Amino acid sequence: MSVVLITGCSSGIGRATALRLVRGGHTVYATARRLDAIADLAAAGCHTLALDVTDERSMTEAVTLVEDRHGAIDVLVNNAGYGEYGAIEEADLDRVRRQFETNVFGLARLTQLVLPRMRAGGSGRIINVGSMGGRLVFPGGGYYHASKYAVEAISDALRFEAAPFGVQVSVIEPGLIRTGFGDTAAGTLAGSAVHAGPYAALNRAVDESMARGYANRTMSATADAVAKVIEHAAVSRRPRPRYVVTPAAKLLVHARRLLGTRVWDLVLRTQFRVA
C-alpha cells in the first residue's frame, strides 16, 4: 500500500479521492487550508494536515512531516484548484494571479518538494488534476483554461524528465463534475462582470450554459467517478499519461481536435448565441 498526499480535500474530487484511497488500505494524508473542513476525513481513517498551496512554509512543513514519518511520499495528487471566470478584458488580474498561485504554482512547488525523495527511492507517482479545459477553451473562462493548459505542459515535461528516476506522471482531465466548482465559477463570473458592459450578454450566456451543463446528469458526473480514475492512476503498473473523465468530455476533446478552429468557433457562437 502507498503513502498518498492529496491537496484540496475540503470538498469535491479531493474529498472523494481521499475516501476511496483510504478505504483501499492506503495511508492517506488529506489536506486543506482549514482542518475543520476535513474533520470527517480524519474520522474515516485519513491523516489530516493543514496545507495552503499558496504558502511556501505550509507546503514545506506538510511534505517534511510526511517524509519524516514514512521516508517518502509514494503518490502526490495535486488536486487543489478553482475557476476564475470572466471576460479577458474585464477580469481582475489580481484574482487571476491568485488562481494561478493555486492551480499552477502550488502544484509546481509541491512537485519540486516531493521529487528528491521519490528520485532517491527510484519510484513515485505524481497525479495532476487538470481538466478537459486544458484541451479546449470556452469563452468567459480564458484565464481558468490558461491555468489548466499550464498543468498540461508541466505534466508533459515532467513525465519525460522524471521517467529515468522511476517516477510516473499522469494528468486527469475531468469534464463537468457535480461538485461546488460550478457555483464557485459562476460566483467569480458575477464578481468580474460589468453588468451593463459590452460583455453582459456573453456573461449571461456563459452563466446559463454552466448551469445547464452541471444540472445535466448525462453531461456531468460525480466526484467519485474522478476519484475512481485517480485510484487507477495511483495503483496501475503502467498508468496512462492522460485520463479524460466522462463520455461528454471525451466527445468534446475529440471534437475540438477534429473540427479545427473555424468550425469550433462556429459551434461556440451557436451555443453562446453571440454574433
Which residues belong to the active site? 144
Q: Are 120 and 70 a contacting pair, CB within 8 Å?
A: no
Contact call for residues 51 and 32 (beta carbons, < 8 A): yes
Q: How far, in whole angstroms, is CA 116 from its chain's centroid?
A: 23
Closest CA to 218 of 186, 178, 264: 178
How many angstroms separate the CA atoms of 180 and 127, rounded? Answer: 21
Cell of 47: 491523516
Q: How far apart are CA 252 and CA 264, in angstroms?
A: 10
Q: What's the DSSP call for residue 219? A: T
Query: What separation in angstroms does the CA of 106 have from each of 167, 205, 217?
Result: 19, 32, 32
Place of cell 497525479: 127
Q: At 127, give phi and psi (nearest 5°).
A: -115, 115
Round to whole Å and give the CA distance between 172 and 234. 11
Distance separating alpha carbons of residues 65 and 206, to the nearest angstrom: 43
Q: Tell me the DSSP string of 113-137.
A: HHHHHHHHHT-EEEEEE--GGGT--
In a 10 Å sphere around its CB, with 0-12 CB exposed, 13-18 middle and 19+ buried, how is residue 260 labelled? Answer: exposed
